[in-house]
Each structure stands twice: as structure tokens, then as C-alpha cells.
Amino acid sequence: MAFYVVQFLTGLASAASLFLVASGLSIIFGVTRIVNFAHGAFYMIGAYIAFTLTERFSGAFGFWGGVVMAAIAVALIGVIVEMVLLRRIYHAPELFQLLGTFGLTLMVEDLVVLIWGPDDLVGRRAPGFKGAVDFFGQNIPSYDLFLIVLGPVVLGILWLLFQRTRWGVLVRAATQDRDMVAALGVNQKWLFTSVFAVGVFLAALGGALQIPRDAVHHAMDLRIIVEVFVVVVIGGLGSIVGAFVAAVLVSELNAFGILIFPKISIILVFLVMAVVLIVRPWGLFGKPEAAARKTPGLTVNPWRPLTSNERLAALAALVVAAMLPLFAGNYALTVGSEIAIFVIFAVSLHFLMSVGGLASFGHAAYFGLGAYGVAFLAKMAGLPMIVCLLLGPLLGCMGAAVFGFFAVQLSGVYFAMLTLAFAQIVWSIAFQWVSVTGGDNGILGIWPEKWAASPSHFYWLALGVAALVTIALRVAVFSPFGYALRATRDSALRSEAVGINAKRIQWTAFVIAGTTAGIGGALFAYLKGSVFPDNLGISLSVDALVMVLLGGVETVSGGVIGAIVYKALNIWLVSQTDLSKLVLGGFIVLIVVVLPKGIVGMLEMLAQRRRKASPPGSSLLAKPIESAE
Amino acid sequence: MRARNYFVGAAFALLAGGMAHSALAQDIKIGEINSYSLLPSFTEPYRKGWQLAVEEINAAGGINGKKLVVISKDDGGKPADAQTAANELVSSEGVAMLTGTFLSNIGLAVSDFANQKKVFFLAAEPLTDAVTWSKGNKYTFRLRPSNYMQAAMLVEAAAKLPAKRWATIAPNYEYGQSAVGVFKKLMSEKRPDIQWVDEQWPPQGKIDAGPVVQAVAAANPEAILNVTFGPDLVKLVREGNTRGLFKGREVVSFLTGEPEYLDPLKDETPEGWIVTGYPWYSIKTPEHDAFLKAYQAKYNDYPRLGSIVGYQTIKAAAAIIAKAGSTDTDKMIAAAEGLSMPSPFGEITFRKIDHQSTLGAYLGKTAQKDGKGVMVDSAYKKGSDYLPSDAEVEKLRPRD
Amino acid sequence: MSVAPPLLAVEGLTKSYGGIHAVRGVSFSLRAGEILALIGPNGAGKSTCFDMLNGQNRPDSGQVRLLGEETTGKKPREIWRLGVGRTFQITATFATMTVRENVQVALISHEKQLFNLWGSAPNFDRGEAGRLLELVGMGGYADRPCGELAYGDLKRLELAVALANEPRLLLMDEPTAGMAPRERVDLMRLTARIAREKSIGVLFTEHDMDVVFEHADRIIVLNRGTLIAEGSPAEVRGNPQVQAVYLGEGLVYDSRHREGTSA
């Protein structure tokens, strides 16, 4: 019995640290609607700075002072980030902030190694909490007890802050209805900045408090960020109590789950999230998201099919690309093939995200399923390459049909997180089912047949498929189905009122996007000659999001350009420097600040400015933007 | 546009300054791939190791009179990126051979690439047995002692312990699974009387150490096998110490004696664990002394195991090319098979039968000295003593 | 005209929320070509009643029949397929699409081409879309992005969209809310003309009594969830019960100071 009590308390201690970080993320999202990918990075910087301070200043005062000072210092960094970077992009398309904070995260991962060195750092134990307390023969670390108390205390302080102060009232009001607060004449700028600072403070405090239990190292951020997102979503976005309950739920399920299924940790949080979201689409304590008021600024550039001149230009570009083998070497051709494959991947997500308004955070699942489909067919059934290429993507199609059905019942960030959960579940199956998938060692030896083996032939194959897929999806965008899909994105109310079954349209789009991603994955398996769980992993899903956002989510061809720019740059940087993340992250942040509509979006805007001397200055167009400033 | 070019260019000049390589046509180029950005705590000393080797080789006149140039690429911990890098090195840079890699899946990906493109590949670090056995191929050789070899070394010591009830803690991926698998198999052969009472599989890099420690303690084992390393190990040790998990229990642990993993533990280093590792401070052989002196002189730092691996990888590559007298792949394979050469750990041989080198490891016990973790009572275990019989190996390895 | 069967027949419609009767036993009917106004003070149950007609809300009991077919509890999109067009109190349009595309979406849906992946949507029923836009006086705006439109134009666009499926019945929730007085009159005149020309029945709720009394053929009045009066504008105007209700609120026939409460 004592054992179960202690296991429960241990779970509570894990929950406390998770809650600290999650509450910060939840507050930030609730008010600013920023999907703060950099939250884990702030957590990590908090730990690093706290390490430095606690090593320098000894004693109880040095330790606790160091922890708090570190959190404050990081909060100040957060303020700078908010003012310099995020303020510029609050009115960029949804999720563009994700791109900016993703860029920051990349930079921070390299910066901490540059500043603090490559070694894992192990800090001091907390003065006064070094030992353990005996509980009927079981030892409970006293620091765990400290954390168990700290969690509810922080919850209480936050509650008081939100219920009893004017600032808290404003924050709650802003969580409910941002525009209303702006209309009340509140200085929204400083409200956002202060909220961001508080959120970052909590993240950094969470990181700093890990010093006595964990090692400080440069991958801490990735370890926590996804888990924290999951906790926030399970709890319900913007709900602090929800975050607390979810943290306890997840930690306790893990603490007791490993007693029965020792391998469950790897997937547990995602299983819980998938179940919760299917049963309660807005998390445990969340409320239905108020229908996002579309920023009218979005609409400046209506989509239209290419003019015949533009078609010729696109054709010319394709012809030029097809002539690459005449003057480029094998390496360039292989890189070209890889870029072509990522164009397929990016346009498939772009179709779902831009046309359907459904931002999937787990799109790599269908890419990877396509790749595994090929691997199974080629290695187990021994089918010829062309058959594998045709049938392999069907695995992506089936995955998308099953998961898409559940995912499209949700919208917004909840949709995104459910797709992430499904992707992680698929990933962990690929990772764990060693007898079939080879686990993390993957499936090897899937090389192209003779007719496609030479780099130039494979390049033509990849380029041809990429061109076909891009054209097909463009046709779909301007097909009646494409219009219907855009209609469901723009207004659920109106599309229902003109007889459109939005869920079925979105589900179809999901399956189309998943199948297309699967085509990319199938080619990728042959390009690399192997398949690994990485091919369905989070980082690949994030890559796809970044490509679409970089190209411009409001445009028709953003996916193509985004994929080419991002992938080419990525490959080049990785080849040129070990600090590729720092440079790439810096580049992304720069793009976010300079081109807040993405590359293609900016080009289109410039083109339009040239066409029209003066923009159509309808008062309605400009008003909400100004009022929110 | 020009401004941005300038910016990016300047950034490169700053960041990649140390990496500039100007290879001449008559130089011998070796391509090297590792997870520099993902695993800097291992790869930084590793890089220093191979850079020292390059310097020594060229100072001694190069390889058969030609200058050796190593072109190094980061794989970011992703098999797909490692293949892109391999492709660049082979197609674009025209390297004579590929070397490096840390993670098992990347080792396998590059090995498969080498097999497909008929390129010589000397795997430095990846431990999975598959590299030389189940997925072994003609073109791939490996330097480090494999999972099997390390397990066999540990089993030799573990079997002598009186403990009968064993629990295991290992990261939930192929490395952890196969380490536990081999250890259990070899252990059960030697000690049919032992029982496996619990196993814990925390996700790699994400251990929730408190519950794991509790769960293991609840099974009340007499001895524990640990396969976690890095930050996971730190968390496990801290929780285990505080909760008294290791009190009165024997612990046998993979790799924990390597400075990369032992040093961070400082005054929390547990005492008396049986570990494999690299006690650079207590190795007193002329070969190692020479290496240690050269390393410390060049870097003003002590070597980690990564330094040895990096150093020996390039030394081995150079020896293979020198013996082959050419960079022709088949000649290099012929030269490498059965090649014996010196190393800081003594003479090693690349076996003809499975392309595994006989580089060994040090086995010892952990202890604390002046608030730092060290290995004591350590002894070098030759790799050749911990490999299965040739008949068994032949069964494990597909025919070339 | 009086012999024509009712287009819409509502019987005993009831809905309560947590013990409070929002709508209680409401019955009325509507003939083709007739313009019927549903009025009542705030909280009278107009919106609840309206939402039960268009499928957004399910009644606890009672029946809604459209052309003799039971539609109670059907989804909005199913009711639309039966020939019911609707406009919203706060306009709902496809903001990133052009004015013409907004109408084309409705036409695509009407012709059951929603899953057509191959055709050219920009050319889909272009002529019909143009005619509908001309009908509501938006012909010159066809290529404008919908998000750029002034509010009154959005209302007219909604009307064009609502007409795309050749409806028999139009449901208009506060069609003139948020519009300037001049625009209100224009919009309602336009609606009335179209309704009579095409013999479409129109049911609308409205706060602006000028609009109601000028355009409605018949008026029904709700108060506290029950129907308290029904009849021609003149009859309703003279009804003492209605007067009491509205006098109680101090809002007799004067809507001007209510402006801006919606939108």
C-alpha cells in the first residue's frame, strides 16, 4: 500500500514541473493566440541560466535566488522577443507566429551549446531538500514533496492573479474576446507583452527548478515542448485549472501505467490526448473556440487560376528544371530529387492548410505511411518498383481516411493537436513493432530498379511526379470541390446554410492530402533506399508546416516555393556548417519579420501594388487592423 | 538581395571558418559524417580526436606521400540527412571512403548506402550488432566493440555476482532492446538460476525517473542492469540515490564509465557499479601515454572516449589506404580484411569474417575521488575475447 | 390566393432551456408569395423560434412542415436542399472569395457538384451567378473580394446567395440590422419585389418597426415565448396586447435609437 501512495506522490511531483511550464503556455495561447513553439526554448534557457547562477552563488540564498533570478532574466528575454518579433506578426495569418517561434527555437538550440559548451551539465541539489523522507519504508525525495506543494501554490497564485487583480480581469476578458478588450480602450500592446512575460517566467521557472533532478543540456526543449502542448490541449486551451488537472492525469497514468506496460511512456500522452479530444473536442476544461473573426486584411488578393502567360512561365521553369541533368552532377541531381519530393509533401499539406484551413501538425504520418507502404510491398511482397510506387501511397490514403474522419470533427488548434496525436501513435507503432517495421533501425535496401536508378532518371521521375501532383492539386483548388472546401474554411455557418456537408468535404480533402503526401513518401523511400520512423516524426511534420508558412499560406503556389527555398537552404546549410540550426533559425526569423505574408505572399502583394496605384481603401478593410494595434 | 547575401556570407565566414577545406587533386580525401549538432557532448571530443589523427598522419608525410584531407558533415541525427551527406561526399567531393556515424540507425543507413553505391564505409561508433552481422555487407567495417561484445564483457563480471533476482532499465529503442536482449541471453546461459523480475523501458531522452525508480524498487531485485546514458542516466542516478534504489544492490551498466557520461555525475556518482568505459587517468601503456600527451598538448583538455574513437577511426582509415596502396574500393576492402594496427588501447585487427575490429573496452567499477566520478579496478578487455565462434558468426551474417 | 396550400406550417413549437420556456406552443403558417414578419421584444423567443425553423435548433415538441414535408429536427443543409434560402443577422459570407465566387459556391452546391474535382469552378454557371448578382444590384461588384464590401453590400450578396437554389421560402434573420436607414428601405423593397415576382414566401424577424409595417403582408407577435397576436399590419398595430408589450418596453414603433446594438 505504501508503495502505491509513494508512486502516486511521485506522479504528483512529475505533474508539478509539467504544470508550471504548461500553465505559461496556456496563458500565452489564451490571450495572444500564439502557438509558442519557443516555450521549450525558454524552459531550457531558464535551466541554463539557473545553472550558471546557482554554481556561482552558493548557499540557500544563492540557490533559490539564482532560480528566481534566472526566471526573471528569461522573462526579460521574453519581453524583448515579444516586442521585437511577435508584435510585428500578431496580424499575420494564423500560425505564422508558430514559424517565428520555431525559428527562435532552432537558434537557441545552437546558441546554448556555443555559450555553455557541449557537455551535459549537472547542477546542485536544492539546499534543504537534498535527502528523502521515509514513508513506511519507502523513500520520497524531499524535493519531490517541495514540488508537490509548489504546483498547487502556483495554481493558487495564478488564480488570485486572474480573479483579484485588474490585470487578471483584463487577461480573462482578452482570453474570451480579444477584440472586445481592444474596443474597451485597453492598451493591448502592454497587455500582450505582460502576458507573454508571465508565461515565459513560468516556463523558465519550470526549467530552473529542474536543476536538482535533471541534467541541463541542449535538447531539453524538444523533450518538453510537445508534452506541454499535449497537456495544455488535454486540459483545454487557456484553462489554467485544466492544465493542472491534465498534468496530474498524464503523470499519474504514466506512473502507474509503467507498472503494467513498461513501454507505455513513449506513447501515453498522445493516447490520452486522442481519447480526450475524440470524447471532448475542446479538452477537459476548455470551451468551444469562438469562431475566429477573419481578418479582412486576408482578402486583398483573391485566388485565380494562372493566366496563359503565367502558365507559359511555369512551363518554362519546369523545362529549365528538367534540363538540370545536362549540366549538374549526381549530387545536385539527388538534392534536386529530394527537393521535388518535398514539393509534393508541401503542396499536399498546403492543400489541406491553405485551401481547407486545416493546419495539420502530423502530416508526416501520411508521408511516412506512403514510405512504409513501399517498403512493405518491395521487401515483403517483392513487387516491382512501379507497382510499389502506385500502391504504396494507398497506405497513406488509408491512414488519412481513418484518422481524418476523427480529426475533421474538430477545428483550429484542436484539429492540429489531434493530427499530431495520430501521427505520434503511428510513429510509435513504427518504432515499437520491431518484427514488422524493424523499429528505429528501419527497413533497408529499397533501391530503385535499373530504369530509375541513375540520379538523372530518378530526378526526372521525381520532378515529373511533383509537377503532376502540383498541377492536379491546382486543378482541384479551382474545381467545384476546391470552392466548396474554401467555403467551409471561410464560414462554417454559411456553407452549412447552402447545403454543404462541411465534414465530408474536409474529410475528402484530408484523404486527398494524405494520399498525396503518401506519393511523396513513396518516392522518398526509393530515393533514400530505406525507411525509418523518422519519416513519420514530428520534426518532419514541422518541416512541412514551415515550408507552407514560408511560402505563404494565403497563396496558391506558396507550398511549391516554400519547399524549394526551405529544403535547398536546409541541405546547403547542413552541408556547410555544424551551426545550421542557428543560421536557418535566423533566416526564418528574418523572413517572418520582413515578409510576414511569406515569400509568395509578398511577391503577390508587390505585383498587386504595381497594378493598382492605390489600394482599395475601404474603411472596413482597415478598421479591425488598426483597432487591434 | 545583395544585403542578405552579405549577411549570410558573413555568418558563414564567422561560423564555418574552421571548416574550410582546400583539397588538391592529388590529396586523399576521406568523408566523415556524424551527429555533430545533435550529440555535441560526444562529437566534440570525437572531432578533436580525428583532427589530431589527421595532423599526425600529415606530419609523418601523409599516406604514401599524399596529404590526407578529411571532409566532415553533420547529419543532425537523421538517417535521411546522413544519406544526403554521404551522397555529397561521394558524388560531389569524390572521397575515397566514408567514415563516422554514431547512432545505430544512421550507421545502418550509411552502410546500406555504401553497399548500394559500392563505397568503402568504416563505421566508427554505432553499436548495433546488425552493422556487422544481420545487415552486414562487403563494404562496411566497424571500429567500436559492438553491443554483443560489451554485453559479453559485462556478463563475465555479472555472472560472478551472487544476485539471482535481476531487473533491467533500458531506453526504449533498438540499442536498449538489443543490449538487454544479448545481456539476458548470455547471462541466462551462464547462470540458469537467475530470475528477471522487472524491466523498465523509458523513452530515450524522456525518462520520468521517479516512477521508474519506484517501479524497479517495488520488484525488489538483487541486481540491476542499466543501459540508459546521457541526461537519462543523470536523472536515474539522482532519483535512485535519493530513493535508495542502489543501496545493497549490484548494478551493471553499459558505457557508464565513459567520461562523457561519468563526468557530469560529479559527487553523485554511485559507487561500485560494474561498467564499461574509458579510465584515461589510469591507463599506463606506452601507446596510450603517447596519445594522451599529444592530445593534451594540442587541446589542453583530457580525452573522452569519443576522442579515442575519432582518433582511431582516421588512423585506421589511413592504414587501410596505405596498405591498399590505392583508393580503389576493392583493394581497400582486401587491405582492411585482417589488417592489424596499433591503437591507444593496444593492437587491433579488422576481422575478415565479419569486418568487426577487435578494439576492446575497459571494464571496472565506479567510484568517487575528490568529488568526481572515476573508474577503479579497471582492466582492458580485448574485443577478440568476447566475440562468438566463427561458425556462429557465419550463421549471423548474410553471404556477401 | 387564399386557396393555395401553406408553404410553411408550424404547429405547437416548444423549446425550453433548463425549465424556462423560450418558446411555447407557437403555431402559424405562411403562403407562397407572402411576406410574414415575426416580431417581439428582446427575449420574446424570436431567435429560438427562427433557429428551430432553419434547423439550427431542435424543438422539444411541435412540428415544422415545409410544403407538406416534415422538417422538424433536420439539419440546416437538409432544409436548404428542400428549397429554403436564408440570411443571417450578422452576415455570413466567404470572406476570402470574390462576390461571384460566393454565389458560385451556392450554385455548385445546388447542382450537386460539390465533389467535382475536375471541372472549372471559375466558369461554373458564370451566367447564372451574374444574373443573380444583377438581380440584387451587385452586378458591378462581381470580381471584388467579399472582404472588401461595405456592410449593406454584404447583405445584398447574402440575398443573392440565398436565391441561388431557387428557394420557395426565404428565412431572413434581422435582414436590415446594422444598415443605414436608406439601405434598409432599398433592401426590403428589393426583397419584396423578388418575393412577389418569384412567388417566394418570406419570413423575417426585425427590430425596425418601420421596416416591418411597410413591407410585411402579415405580422405575428411573440412575447415570452407565446404568440400573442397575428394579423395584418393594421390589425397588429391596433392590438392592445401588443401595444402593452411594446409600451412596457417604451419602444413603440421607434427603432432609431436601437441602432448599433446589433452588428
Which has the higher per-residue pLDDT, B77 or B22?
A: B77
Q: How many angstroms separate the Cα of B161 from the Cα of each of A13, A516, B181, B187?
A: 35, 58, 19, 11
Q: Which residue has the cell 575519432?
A: B310
- Across residues C100-115, what is the average pLDDT? 95
Q: Mean pLDDT over all residues of chain C?
A: 86
Nearest CA to B341 out of B146, B143, B140 is that of: B143
Alpha-carbon gap, residue C10 to C112, rounded angstroms? 29
Partner chains of C (3+ C-beta pairs under 8 Å): A
Which strands sit side by side in the sheet containing B372-381, from one edge to the other?
B195-200, B165-169, B223-226, B250-257, B274-277, B361-369, B372-381
For residue A601, list chain C residues with Cβ-Cβ distance below 8 A.
none
pLDDT of A607 reads 79
pLDDT at C77 over 80: yes
Q: Which helix (H) or strand (E) holds A345?
A: helix A330-350
Alpha-carbon gap, residue B89 to B183, rounded angstroms? 37
ipTM of the complex: 0.89
Nearest CA to A21 out of A257, A223, A185, A255 is that of: A223
Q: How many angstroms separate the Cα of A25 from the Cα of each of A169, A229, A292, C76?
A: 18, 8, 20, 38
Fill in the DSSP letter of residue C41: S
Q: Is A83's Cβ below 8 Å from some Cβ in B?
A: no
Q: Which regions of chain B carry the CATH code 3.40.50.2300?
A: 22-144+284-360, 148-279+362-386
- Size of the A and B interface in Cβ pairs below 8 Å: 223
Distance from CA of C232 to the nearest CA of A (A): 30
pLDDT of A282 reads 87
pLDDT at A626 over 90: no
Q: Yes or no: say if B68 and B57 are a contact pair by the CB < 8 Å rule.
A: yes
For residue A485, list chain C residues with Cβ-Cβ distance below 8 A.
none
Q: Yes or no: say if A6 and A138 are a contact pair by the CB < 8 Å rule.
A: yes
Query: In percent, how much of chain C has pLDDT > 90?
Result: 38
Q: Yes or no: say if B207 and A215 are a contact pair by the CB < 8 Å rule.
A: no
Nearest CA to B273 out of B250, B305, B290, B244 is that of: B250
Answer yes or no: do C95 and A491 touch at CB < 8 A: yes
- Across residues B368-377, what is the average pLDDT? 94
B390 CB-near residues (< 8 Å, 6+ apart)? B353
Q: Mean pLDDT over all residues of chain B?
A: 91
pLDDT of C218 reads 93
pLDDT at A485 over 90: yes
Distance from CA of A506 to the nearest CA of C (A): 11
- What are B221-279's pLDDT values in tens digits? 999 999 999 999 999 999 999 999 999 999 999 999 999 999 999 999 999 999 999 99
Alpha-carbon gap, residue A526 to A446, rounded angstroms? 6
> Residues 23 to 62 of C: which have CB under 8 A from any A CB?
54
Answer yes or no: do C76 and A497 touch at CB < 8 A: yes
Which has the higher per-residue pLDDT, A550 or A367?
A: A367
- What are C153-192's pLDDT values in tens digits? 999 999 999 999 999 999 998 888 888 888 888 888 889 9
- What are B126-172's pLDDT values in tens digits? 999 999 999 999 999 999 999 999 999 999 999 999 999 999 999 99
Answer yes or no: do A120 and B243 touch at CB < 8 A: no
Cell of residue A593, nine digits = 519579420
Number of C-beta neighbours around residue C253 at 10 A = 12
Answer yes or no: do A490 and C95 touch at CB < 8 A: yes
Q: What is the pTM of this model?
A: 0.89
Backbone angles phi and psi of C259, in degrees to 5: -60, 145
Q: How confident is the model at residue A301 (pLDDT cuts 50, 70, 90)?
A: low
Q: How many angstroms separate the Cα of A349 from the Cα of each of A93, A398, B83, B287?
A: 16, 17, 25, 57
Q: Which residue has the cell 501513435?
A: A425
Q: Yes or no: say if B143 and B359 are a contact pair by the CB < 8 Å rule.
A: yes
- B and C touch per CB criterion (3+ pairs under 8 A): no
Distance from CA of A625 to the nearest CA of C (A): 13
- C and A touch per CB criterion (3+ pairs under 8 A): yes
Q: Is A484's Cβ below 8 Å from some Cβ in C?
A: yes
Q: Yes or no: say if B106 and B77 are a contact pair by the CB < 8 Å rule.
A: yes
Tell me which architecture the domain covering B148-279+362-386 has in CATH.
Answer: 3-Layer(aba) Sandwich (3.40)
Pick B22-144+284-360's CATH classification: 3.40.50.2300, 3.30.565.10, 3.20.20.70, 3.90.1300.10.
3.40.50.2300
Q: Yes or no: say if A589 and A107 are a contact pair by the CB < 8 Å rule.
A: yes
Alpha-carbon gap, residue A65 to A59, rounded angstroms? 10
Alpha-carbon gap, residue B224 to C29, rounded angstroms? 82
> Which of C54, C100, C117 to probe the A interface (max A CBs under 10 A)?
C117
The three state secondary structure string of B38-103 is CCHHHHHHHHHHHHHHHHHHHHCCCECCECEEEEEEECCCCHHHHHHHHHHHHHHCCCCEEEECCC
Alpha-carbon gap, residue A90 to A191, rounded angstroms? 13
Q: Mean pLDDT over all residues of chain A?
A: 88
- What are B42-80's pLDDT values in tens digits? 899 999 999 999 999 999 999 999 999 999 999 989 999
Q: Is A143's Cβ below 8 Å from some Cβ in B?
A: yes
Nearest residue of chain B to residue A220 (CA atoms): B205
A460 CB-near residues (< 8 Å, 6+ apart)? A322, A325
How does strand B223-226 pair with strand B195-200?
unpaired
Answer yes or no: do C109 and A484 touch at CB < 8 A: yes
- Size of the A and C interface in Cβ pairs below 8 Å: 142
Distance from CA of C95 to the nearest CA of A (A): 6
Q: Is C204's Cβ below 8 Å from some Cβ in A?
A: no
For residue C97, list chain A residues with Cβ-Cβ distance below 8 A.
302, 483, 486-487, 490
Fill in the DSSP letter of residue B356: B
Can you spell out the DSSP letters for A135-171?
ETTEEEEHHHHHHHHHHHHHHHHHHHHHHHSHHHHHH
For residue C116, list chain A residues with Cβ-Cβ distance below 8 A.
479-481
Q: Yes or no: say if C49 and C13 are a contact pair by the CB < 8 Å rule.
A: yes
Q: Which residue has the cell 578487455?
A: B381
For residue C120, list chain A residues with Cβ-Cβ distance below 8 A.
305, 478-479
Cell of residue C115, nine digits = 465533389
Residue A281 Rama label (left phi>0; alpha psi -120 to 50; beta): alpha
pLDDT at A622 over 70: no
- Across residues C1-7, what is the average pLDDT? 63
Q: Yes or no: say if B381 and B360 are a contact pair by the CB < 8 Å rule.
A: yes
Q: Which amino acid is at A498?
A: V
pLDDT of C261 reads 37
Q: Which residues pair with B376 in a beta bridge?
A: B365
Q: How confident is the model at residue B17 (pLDDT cuts 50, 70, 90)?
A: very low
Q: How confident is the model at residue C248 (pLDDT cuts 50, 70, 90)?
A: low
